[in-house]
Amino acid sequence: MSTSEGVGGLVSHYLEKGIVLIIADLLSLITVSSCLVIKVPQINTIRANESSKGISVLGLCLELFSYTVMISYNYTSGYDFLSYMEYPVLLLQEYVLIYYVFKYQDLLGKRTQIIAVFYVTIATLIYLKLFPIIILTFLVPFCTPIGATSKVLQLLAILRTKDASSVSRTTWALSAFTNMTRIYTVYVQSHDVMLLTNFLISTFLSSAVFVAACVYKKKTKKD
């Protein structure tokens, strides 16, 4: 069999999946590609301003918890890696974002370092599948309200300070978009109601933060 015939066979076999699943794969790739840089604008904004005013620290910590649990849930459930590949990328960016937010709010003390060591220990145990599954199963249902709460806290932080100068609109626009694409991919590939609910709520709240950031960014400029 020639190389061209082999490639043709692979393409033919892939196309047999059907247009619905092919679209899901394409959206997954777009989502993952977007997530490669989704938090970079936010990180750059904070570094440029040398300030993290308007950024909710508690919201970031809750978001970190949500990302960690979600990647662990998908990993232990044996779902297609492409359907959640953005989470490892998001986690790496989240670590950098948290570092700069904590830095400019003077929160890089001993207590933070102890919590960081504890987090790394738990994450390692989950990766090695040494962490009790029953605890992870218990935490999964809380992921949606916790993830939603993190976004609500960010929204409230903007509304309370009426200052979105440190909030990146690009980051939140990408967040809304990627969550929206995941609604389709999860529905097509796994029909997981828990994940669908999570992405539906996340899409709405990310959009709300984006709108608030636009409103108060303009107001700040006028002032």
CA atoms within 13 A on the CB side of 168: 21
Cα separation of 195 and 125, whole Å? 23
Q: Decide if pLDDT at 222 tops 60.
A: no
Q: pLDDT tens across 169-178, in order?
A: 999 999 999 8
Please state the φ and ψ torsions of residue 93, each to the nearest 5 degrees. -70, -35
pLDDT-derived band at 98, boundaries 50, 70, 90: very high
If you average pLDDT over every residue of the chain, what do you get? 83
Q: Decide if pLDDT at 220 tops 70.
A: no
Look at the block and give the residue holding tokens 């929206």.
180
Cα separation of 75 and 149, whole Å? 24
Q: pLDDT tens across 51-79, in order?
A: 888 888 998 998 898 888 888 877 877 77
Q: What is the pTM of this model?
A: 0.73
Q: Decide if pLDDT at 163 tops 50.
A: yes
Q: pLDDT tens across 186-202, in order?
A: 888 778 887 888 889 99
Cα separation of 199 and 201, whole Å? 5
Q: Decide if pLDDT at 44 tops 90.
A: yes
Q: Decide if pLDDT at 221 tops 60.
A: no
Position with higher pLDDT, 117 vs 72 = 117
Q: Decide if pLDDT at 6 tops 60.
A: no
